[in-house]
Chain A
Amino acid sequence: MPNKVLLKIENLKVKANHQEILKGINLKIEKKQIQAILGPNGSGKSVLCQTILGNPKYKITQGKIIFQEKNINKLPPEKRVKLGLALSWQNPPSLRGIKLVDLLKKISQEKIKIEEGKHLLNRQVNLDFSGGEKKISELLQLLSLKPKLVIFDEIDSGLDLEKIKKIAKIIKKEFVDRGISLLIITHNGEILKFLKPQLTNVMIKGKIVCQQKNFQKVLKTIKKYGYEKCQKCLS
């Protein structure tokens, strides 16, 4: 029987600037599955994303990241991307002198067939883009990569409800309906209402403290009691 697990993280501990940020993360994402990670600011969500993608700034001190049954701990970012991992950045940097259209062409020869973002193509990547435009630019780039698992780092941050709805609609059509697995990292959880994850994790202080199938229950608890309630789960 084929293995359904796409990404498996085992007891992952990560340091940056001599400080331990991730303190033993365990996570499993299956093919075609949507999972979410909710957590307060500074809980290590973005560090987890960047570590999965191989950002050399973050050092793995213990544990394994296994993608498609292969330990990718030592693979450089570009090789992880070739295997099918992709990350949408929360705050992508501006690339001066590089037009989005040229970057997309370099990523893939295949033309992306979505209407959104056409007006961004001849602008320099992320330079003077609004929050919403940056998210669209990220989506266009991810589509060019033809990923198997996409991690969205705070794709809903700084957007109003209408924009979140629009972004969620694109994600559903372009990724979910094509069977691409998703890991949605979010602070406020708004986007989960539209993408309905099958499993929702809560991350506090570098650890996943709970996993729930019912994302609404998690959102309701956080909304009512804040992450303080989750904090108590730790103690």
Chain B
Amino acid sequence: MTAPVQSPEQAGRVLRALYAGYGYQPFRVQKFERYELYSEFRRFLATEKVLTFTNTDGRLMAMKPDVTLSIVQTPQPEGLRKVFYHENVYREQRPGEGFREIPQTGLECIGALDGYAVGEVVMLAAKSLAAIRDSWVLDVSHLGVVMGVLDEEDLTEEKRAAALAAVAAKNVPALRQLGLGGAAKALAGLTALYGPLSETLGQAEALPLPGRSREALGELRALAEQIALYDLPNVHLDFSVVNDVAYYDDIVFRGFVEGAPSAVLSGGRYDKLLQRMGKTGGALGFAVYLDRLEDARAPRPACDGDLLVCYAAAEDIPLAVQTAEAARARGETVRVQAQPPKTLRYRRVLRVQKGAVTEC
């Protein structure tokens, strides 16, 4: 049993230590970015809205809504680059809410990716969740499985997008109504599957699927074998994990912890982004949305502190201090002041007056 992480700050510290322990290097990105970076790769972002301002040299700048783009655009050394970050990003979480500062921790593995590196990143995603809560689930998919099925039909872009949206919402009735031909049945079969990675993968392998889908299942099988080396029982297969196919076409995953109503971790392999930036190799990473852990925090404490000591006059201060220090030595939190605060609650309130300490 690990103690549940209580705050986003605490989670950030725990996760940074985890990634450093696996040899990932800290990476600090600059606070502002050129706006063009985001306008050019808009679809890679989780949001279309970017907070912009004009710099003193007249260039349009942005408060970064995402960290991955900032990391990927920097020069890529030879071999494999493993970095982690802890940054604030600025974006609108829900339409109409306005921009918010959101703390985000994550890692990226870029360059000469091999099977081990892929497995390691997925394992670290799972361990990130396990470090935050005992009760967690990491859902893993490979977009090639679903895309392979869609490739078999001659579909318009619009219909493909609608099919992917239906898969993401586990909306089997919509899949049947879209007129996808033979793909509808296969997608409905894939969407219905959910459970532990290795076991559920066996069920997917038994489905009649086209070649590209089978190749993707093969990659998932290799991943499952590596994940089995670690004690991570809550890694599940779920084909409804669908990231933007403009950049993702491989392993994708999403993580949940009990108490948070939506995914707190999201990631995947985005080689296509690298290619669009004119770089070679592979790239895989994930981000943990620390603000979403606020929803999963323990209930608010009933009191603001253990003890409030109120003194009646200046001559009562020495006894008030003595009383407070004694309580602090016992590990209690103590506030001392003349009048009790109107909006705060304390487990005990003591009043010091004319050399006497009385409980209120």
Decide whether A and B are members of one complex. Answer: no
Chain A residues with CB under 8 Å of chain B are none
> B residues within 8 Å of A by Cβ?
none
